[in-house]
Structure 1
Amino acid sequence: MIIIGFESSCDETGVALACTEKGLLAHALHSQIAMHREYGGVVPELASRDHIRRILPLTRQVLEQAGLGMADINAVAYTAGPGLAGALLVGASVAQSFAWARGLPAIPIHHLEGHLLSPLLADPAPEFPFVALLVSGGHTQLMRVDGVGTYELLGETLDDAAGEAFDKTAKLMGLGYPGGPALSRLAEQGDATAFDLPRPMMHSGDLDFSFSGLKTAVLTRLKALEKETGTLSDRQRADLAAATEAAIVDVLSSKAIKAMKQTGLKRLVVAGGVGANRHLRAHLLKAMARLNGQVFFPPLDLCTDNGAMIAYAGALRIKAGLAVLDGGNHAFTVKPRWDLQDVCVSAASTPAAG
């Protein structure tokens, strides 16, 4: 079966084609970073309008890439949540309209499940079961994954997520948007040992996270430096960026390794935008080698939000028998807030119609 997938949860419009037998066939992505940079963050109304402009041209693009036509599509998958309500509605409306016009089944996909399963597109791909470190946007979670739709939450952030810590500290330092990548680039020029920043909850004894205290510590250090010198030098700014990145990476790595030991599993999967961080990748590769385990990452171009993970999650749900394929009911809703546990096999696998 061939599935077309639509992603429009925030500031990237993604469309992709996946096959239940052959995997990913084609994908295309448009990022809104340039548009939102002027405002220092995502403007929901502008995001929704841009999704409307981009989604159909991207659909034509992926069909041309794969050498397929609309008649070749067997099912439609789309991000139903979580995310920005208006942005989600664009992708969901297009997906459901496509499905209704062609008499196809439409499969609502949880955005985080898409990220969670995206490392399966890597070569080599992990086998089940594995522990997943999910670090995407406002989410930082550790999950045990025993199969498609079989997820156990091991730990999560109690306040700011890792991605938010990157973005908020970058903003405090006056770096550009998006803050996380800008901070990481600056950190490459700095000395991570120049400043001693806290590692919140690293030794808490559980698998939960907290990053709001780190942001406060960076703010306090910035104020102290500005009081001493009047303004930050380029060296101080780079050192503080490096120290911030090191603190975040240390906490993520420590908790991930603790989860590996607690579960007894030997495969770790890292998914989400922060999974593209080179420091985090290097740290986890070394740590897992010491445990005689393996760590898997999605391809770099699939770390951020994309349609490939949604189309592929739809294909995997079909193969696992977890998708309704009658193609009859096209009533739909979106869920700006949606717990990943709600899509587990033991719970409802689709959002309620409304």
Structure 2
Amino acid sequence: MEQAQTPPLTVLGIETSCDETAAAVLRLDANGPTVLGEVVASQFDEHRDYGGVVPEIAARAHAEKCDDVVRETLKASGVSLSDVDGFAATTGPGLVGGVMVGMMTAKALSIATGKPFIGVNHLEGHALSPRLSETVDFPYLLLLVSGGHCQFLRVNGLNDYQRLGSTIDDAVGEAFDKSAKVLGLGFPGGPALERAAAEGDETAVKLPRPLLDRPGLDMSFAGLKTAVLRASEAEPLTRERVCDISASFQAAIRDVLVHKTRTAMQMVRRDLPSDAQPAFVIAGGVGANKTLRSALQGLCEEEGFAFAAPPLKWCTDNGAMIAYAGAMRLALGEQSGMDLAARPRWPLDEASAASAPVFGSGKKGAKA
């Protein structure tokens, strides 16, 4: 399903699912999306001492910052509230306290202006984010890798997603962050570990490549995280040792994802005409990792797939992707009611989630 032919739409999108308070104003017309302005307020200082995101602190920070971020975004965009055709906000999945802040802000703006409110699945924002900067036709193969999610999806169009495989425990981003914490690399862990890995020897520490001996696309990273902990305890953590463990960990993640992506490509290709060049998309915060990007670009050349990825600023959580998903829905005449509730868990492929749930280690049930 491609974009409906409608007059230009201007949408304000708000994203508050984790530790970034973000907003963007986007205009959608026949030529595609244009981001008019965006602002991201990160919470690094608030969470640094804890080595990870604390949900209660994140929610409070969102409540303190959200109004200012929206105000700054409108100013940067050169538009007023009267120019906005609709207000989109992440409604899940994510840390529910933060999700509620952004969602209620968008609802309040909707009520005050009489313009539509559109609740957006955070994962759908990531899934569509490459289309913010380049033309990527449906369908395409998506590897969604972030702090809370790791899955392969066939993206057939808006609201049409087929889950092909998923992590059965930890997400890649979580494994990066917790391994970085074990190694004393600070917060945010993913970028810090990547920097340390650049100075290390990826062959220095033997780490497992989970589930490569099994068919299918399911993945597991909890054991790899445990292996990093054991490696950190086996010898003194000198700077050289930290860098070697980081490089070895990053290489293990790369090898697993390249292997599984190759399998996914071969699976998707069977359903397409022989002369078609399908597209492969990587999205989510871990998609900013340069080692992983480079390896997957090389794989695309080998397998005959076009490679696509959002710019680094739209890999991590941002308001532009939420505004785009909201604008696409608004273009089709969709909007949400004021009774829409925040969802801490919200799979893109609800049919697969119901028929073949993937159970993780979340305290309140399935993580994925």
Same-fold status (TM-score > 0.5): yes
> Following the alignment from structure 1 to structure 2, what is the Cα–Cα distance between the partners of residues 3 and 274?
27
Matched, 1:269 2:281: yes
> Following the alignment from structure 1 to structure 2, what is the Cα–Cα distance between the partners of residues 332 and 125?
32
Matched, 1:156 2:170: no
Conserved 8 A contact 2:118-2:330: no
Count of residue correspondences: 334
Conserved 8 A contact 1:125-1:296: no
> Following the alignment from structure 1 to structure 2, what is the Cα–Cα distance between the partners of residues 57 and 93?
15
**Equivalent position of 2:248 in the other structure:** 243
> Which whole-Å deviations, capped at 9, do the CAs of 1:155-209 have from their partners, x for residues lacking one?
0000011111111111111210111111111000001011121110123110011
**Equivalent position of 1:87 in the other structure:** 98
**Equivalent position of 1:232 in the other structure:** 237
Question: Which amino acid in 2 is paired with 1:195?
Answer: V
> Following the alignment from structure 1 to structure 2, what is the Cα–Cα distance between the partners of residues 15 and 342?
27
> Following the alignment from structure 1 to structure 2, what is the Cα–Cα distance between the partners of residues 89 and 216?
34
> Which whole-Å deviations, capped at 9, do the CAs of 1:24-74 have from their partners, x for residues lacking one?
222111100121102221122221121122112221222122211110111
> Following the alignment from structure 1 to structure 2, what is the Cα–Cα distance between the partners of residues 164 and 45?
19
Question: Which amino acid in 1 is paired with 2:204?
Answer: A
Report the TM-score when normalising by structure 2.
Answer: 0.87
Conserved 8 A contact 1:13-1:55: yes
Conserved 8 A contact 1:288-1:295: yes
Report the TM-score when normalising by structure 1.
Answer: 0.91
**Equivalent position of 2:69 in the other structure:** 58
Q: Of 7, 16, 23, which residue of structure 1 is paired with 2:24?
A: 16
**Equivalent position of 1:218 in the other structure:** 228
1:1-354 correspondence to structure 2 within 5 Å: 1-21=9-29, 22-23=32-33, 24-122=35-133, 124-225=134-235, 231-264=236-269, 266-319=278-331, 321=332, 323-324=334-335, 329-342=337-350
Conserved 8 A contact 2:138-2:156: yes
* 1:20 counterpart SS class: strand
Conserved 8 A contact 1:76-1:95: yes
> Following the alignment from structure 2 to structure 1, what is the Cα–Cα distance between the partners of residues 304 and 54?
45
Conserved 8 A contact 1:117-1:313: yes
Question: Which amino acid in 2 is paired with 1:286?
Answer: G
Q: CA deviation at 1:322?
A: 6.4
Q: CA deviation at 1:311?
A: 0.3
* 1:68 counterpart SS class: coil
Conserved 8 A contact 1:83-1:336: yes
Gaps of 5+ in 2: 1-8, 273-277, 353-368
Conserved 8 A contact 1:197-1:217: yes
**Equivalent position of 1:349 in the other structure:** none
Gaps of 5+ in 1: 226-230, 345-354
Conserved 8 A contact 2:21-2:62: yes
Question: Which amino acid in 2 is paired with 1:10?
Answer: C
The 4+ residue runs of structure 1 with deviation greater than 3 A are none
* 1:4 counterpart SS class: strand
> Which whole-Å deviations, capped at 9, do the CAs of 1:308-327 have from their partners, x for residues lacking one?
110011112223x26237xx
Conserved 8 A contact 1:267-1:293: yes
> Following the alignment from structure 1 to structure 2, what is the Cα–Cα distance between the partners of residues 342 and 292?
30
Cα-Cα RMSD: 1.6
Conserved 8 A contact 1:198-1:214: yes
> Following the alignment from structure 1 to structure 2, what is the Cα–Cα distance between the partners of residues 260 and 317?
29
> Following the alignment from structure 1 to structure 2, what is the Cα–Cα distance between the partners of residues 64 and 339?
34
> Following the alignment from structure 1 to structure 2, what is the Cα–Cα distance between the partners of residues 109 and 334?
10
Identity of aligned residues (%): 46
> Following the alignment from structure 2 to structure 1, what is the Cα–Cα distance between the partners of residues 340 and 297?
42
> Following the alignment from structure 1 to structure 2, what is the Cα–Cα distance between the partners of residues 48 and 161?
22
> Following the alignment from structure 2 to structure 1, what is the Cα–Cα distance between the partners of residues 150 and 306?
21
* 1:151 counterpart SS class: strand
